[in-house]
Structures are given as structure tokens and as C-alpha cells.
Amino acid sequence: MNLQLTIEGKAYLADLAKPNDLSLSTGPGGDNPGAFFINEAQFEPIRVGGFVGSVAEGGSANCEILRFCAHGNTTHTECMGHITHSRIVLSDVLTEFWFTAQLVTAELTVGRYVSLSEVKSWRLYDVDALIVRSLPNQIEKKQRQWSGSEPPYFEPEALSFLREAGIQHLLTDFPSVDPEVDEGRLSAHHEWWGLPQRLVGGIVDTIADSHPRLKATITELIYIPEDVLDGLYALNLQCPNLRTDAVPSRPVIYRLTPCADR
């Protein structure tokens, strides 16, 4: 089965039998990346009265309670509600799940961030989503424990540039687009969503339903294998219907081929 998409007036096809899953898993036997000193996710059988939700422990069925924080335990997609006083949940603003996307590989500066000059060097297509793979890109990145290591991030001006370019969905292999320690400013997040920069401890209050960036998202802690080449893709952004600002997600991409080449 093929999916046809149009980018800058040109038609492309995606072979849906050839997915590339960019998500990292959490739980027993999973990738289990970690960031921000957040405790590892917990998967435990439920215990109610005489029932235990574990066949291995004598129960009639497996039934687990999951405890995790999407922001530090796994691949996750977040919305503007991550930095606002008003409660905005992803399931209200992310109502479409198929997007045109471009994958780029980023060189980091000595300061370990993606700079504005780096972003300006990319030939950006008119797409919905931008997927950024950073170098180095060893397979060990899937299980990396980022806490206390000063992970790489984006220069705020770089995200302002991408916002003005019309990118609605940003996907990165960093645990955050902002530095691990920044006094709570989250400057790159604010630039991405077009919100006023704040003083330490300040908040953004009410957001109008007409805000042009209300539906924009950030997906963090992905991993893009080396054999997935830079270029154009169809993105299927899979997210559970949990009413919170960020949820575990599963971005899956499909290489786009110009229809004329078929």
C-alpha cells in the first residue's frame, strides 16, 4: 500500500510496508534512556484483594500498573502546555497524525548545541515536520543516561528561525531542546511556540485558541539509525490519548520517492 503526498507542488509516494520506527522503548528489556534525574519507569503487577496481575505469580492474567514520566523515560511528544499556566493537553491540539517531514543531520558547535548558522545552512523544504539527527550518532545513544551530562540543545534563535519557516513539528534525539540547567528559562521552548520569554519563576498564563502555534509540537528522545538517510519522508506520529502536556509517542517515518521515478 502506498501513500501519496505533495511537497512544493511535486507528488511523492511512501511505501507503507517499509516503516522506520524512531521511538525508544521503556520498561523491562527496553531501551530505557534517562534524563533530568527522573526515576526509571516502573512496571508492576496490580494487586487487588486476592488477585495479582501476573501469571508468573499465579494470577489468571497479566495486568500491570505503569509509572513513568514521559519527559525523562522515553520518546515523548509535548505541546505548548508544557510551559503554560493554563492547562493545555496534547490530545486536544494534536488532532492529525500524518505529516510531510524532512530529516536532516546536524553538526554541533563546540558548545554542544545546534546553532542558528547550522540551521540556516540546511535546504529546508515546505514540510510540516523537521526531524533532526545529531552527531555523533552511536547506537549507544538509545540507552544513554543523560542526567548530569550537559546534553546538547538548540540555540533559541535556531528554533525562532524554524518557527518562522513554518515548521509545525520538531523531532530531536536530544532529551530537551533547552539546556539541562538554565534556571528554568526554557528559552528555546518559548521561541518554538512563539511565547514571550520569561524571567526566572515567571509563567505564561492564558493562551488564545487562535494562537498560531497552538498545534505545534516537540518530540524528544528519538533515535534515527545510520541507514535512514537524510531526505523527505511521510511521518506518522502515534500518540496515546492521555490528557497531559506530554505523552510517550511513536514517530514512524516512510521514505518518500518522487512519483516520476516510479
The answer to the question of residue 80 being in a domain is yes
Q: What is the pLDDT of residue 240?
A: 97
Identify which of 186, 258, 227 has the alpha carbon closest to the alpha carbon of residue 21: 227
Residues 45-101 have pLDDT tens digits of 999 999 999 999 999 999 999 999 999 999 999 999 999 988 999 999 999 999 999
Domain count, the chain: 1
The answer to the question of residue 51 being in a domain is no
The answer to the question of residue 175 being in a domain is yes
Residues 92-109 have pLDDT tens digits of 999 999 999 999 999 998
pTM of the model: 0.94
Structural domain boundaries enclosing 118: 2-33+69-261
The answer to the question of residue 140 being in a domain is yes
For residue 198, the domain's CATH number is 3.50.30.50
